[in-house]
């Protein structure tokens, strides 16, 4: 499979990253390069550290070893003021959407603009309406989050994520729990918004078909490292057993069905509790 050319313009560089939660190792010498201006999908089974990776890029977590560079800036080494300044150039679409429940749609999108700029109300209004127009919800600006469907909630979250025209938008499982129509809309919007605003998108997902349909490049994580990478076409045609099992949704393969345990007969005759 092809690898991202490290000599080309990259926005994010993850180098030799190691990280553990207690005794549980999440990353072991992880290396990735995210190209600028592209849509990169980060895939892998549940618990492999996909969402944790977004926390490293945004500076919420620091690696035990290695470095994460965004726009050639070492994120773990930033002080709080400089980290907050960098975050202003990032947008985040959370899996739960995380809309502020006491604010209506318009106010949710206006919130980061008012929080981080001193723009006049008229300009804020125009910016919010332009973002709502992009996601097809200009007519829903007066609705409260509780009045929105699941698909509409995701679209509002997307509009808020791009409110400040960031250089980078991160999506944490954006396709989970959506009906087929809403799913198709979100898939289409992620690709169109990325290209229209000429930004970089990192999409964390375990949905193979949707992720591959919009990604320029795909990373597959597993066992604390990158176990596969390439274009969607290369990933679909791989001969790697690990990659083929995930991409094809196969129950049998290198990833075992059973969680590690002692012999079944030994377990049956063991007195409880055994620990």
Range of the domain at 8: 1-86+196-275
Cα(265)–Cα(275) distance, integer angstroms: 17
What is the pTM for the complete model shown? 0.85
Asked whether residue 5 carries a pLDDT value surpassing 80, the answer given is no
Q: Is 190 within the bounds of a domain?
A: no
Residues 6+ apart with CB under 8 A from 79: none
Q: Is 123 within the bounds of a domain?
A: no
Asked whether residue 135 carries a pLDDT value surpassing 70, the answer given is yes
Following CA atoms 80, 84, 90, 95 in sequence, which dihedral angle do they give, to the nearest 10 degrees?
Answer: 70
3-state DSSP assignment of residue 39: strand
Question: Partners of 220 in the beta sheet?
Answer: 43, 228
Q: How would residue 269 be classed by pLDDT, with cut points 50, 70 and 90?
A: confident
pLDDT at site 56 = 94
Tokens of 231: 């274009």
Q: Is 143 within the bounds of a domain?
A: no
Mean pLDDT, residues 154-166: 93
Cα(36)–Cα(34) distance, integer angstroms: 7
Mean pLDDT, residues 172-196: 90
Which range (48-57, 60-69, 214-223, 257-266) has the least confidence? 257-266
pLDDT at site 22 = 84
Q: Which secondary structure element, helix H or strand E, spans residue 226, and what is its range?
A: strand 225-230
Cα(187)–Cα(93) distance, integer angstroms: 13
Please tell me the total count of domains within the chain.
1
Q: Is 168 within the bounds of a domain?
A: no
């Amino acid at each position: 499979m092809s690898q991202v050319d490290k000599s080309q313009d990259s926005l994010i560089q993850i180098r030799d990253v190691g990280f553990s939660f207690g005794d549980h190792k999440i990353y072991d010498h992880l290396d990735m390069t995210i190209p600028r201006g592209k849509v990169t999908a980060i895939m892998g089974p549940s618990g492999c550290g996909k969402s944790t990776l977004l926390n490293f890029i945004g500076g919420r977590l620091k690696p035990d070893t290695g470095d994460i560079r965004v726009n050639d800036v070492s994120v773990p080494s930033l002080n709080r003021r400089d980290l907050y300044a960098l975050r202003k150039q990032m947008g985040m679409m959370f899996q739960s959407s995380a809309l502020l429940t006491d604010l209506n749609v318009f106010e949710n999108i206006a919130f980061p603009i008012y929080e981080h700029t001193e723009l006049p109300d008229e300009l804020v209004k125009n910016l919010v309406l332009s973002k709502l127009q992009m996601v097809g919800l200009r007519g829903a600006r007066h609705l409260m989050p509780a009045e929105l469907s699941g698909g509409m909630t995701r679209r509002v979250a997307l509009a808020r994520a791009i409110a400040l025209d960031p250089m980078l938008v991160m999506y944490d499982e954006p396709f989970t729990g959506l009906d087929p129509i809403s799913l198709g809309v979100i898939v289409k919007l992620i690709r169109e918004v990325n290209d229209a605003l000429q930004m970089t998108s990192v999409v964390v997902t375990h949905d193979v078909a949707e992720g591959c349909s919009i990604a320029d490049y795909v990373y597959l994580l597993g066992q604390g490292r990158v176990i596969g990478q390439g274009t969607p076409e290369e990933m679909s045609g791989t001969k790697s057993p690990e990659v083929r099992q995930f991409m094809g949704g196969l129950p049998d393969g290198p990833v075992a069905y059973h969680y590690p345990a002692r012999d079944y007969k030994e377990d049956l005759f063991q007195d409880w509790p055994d620990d």
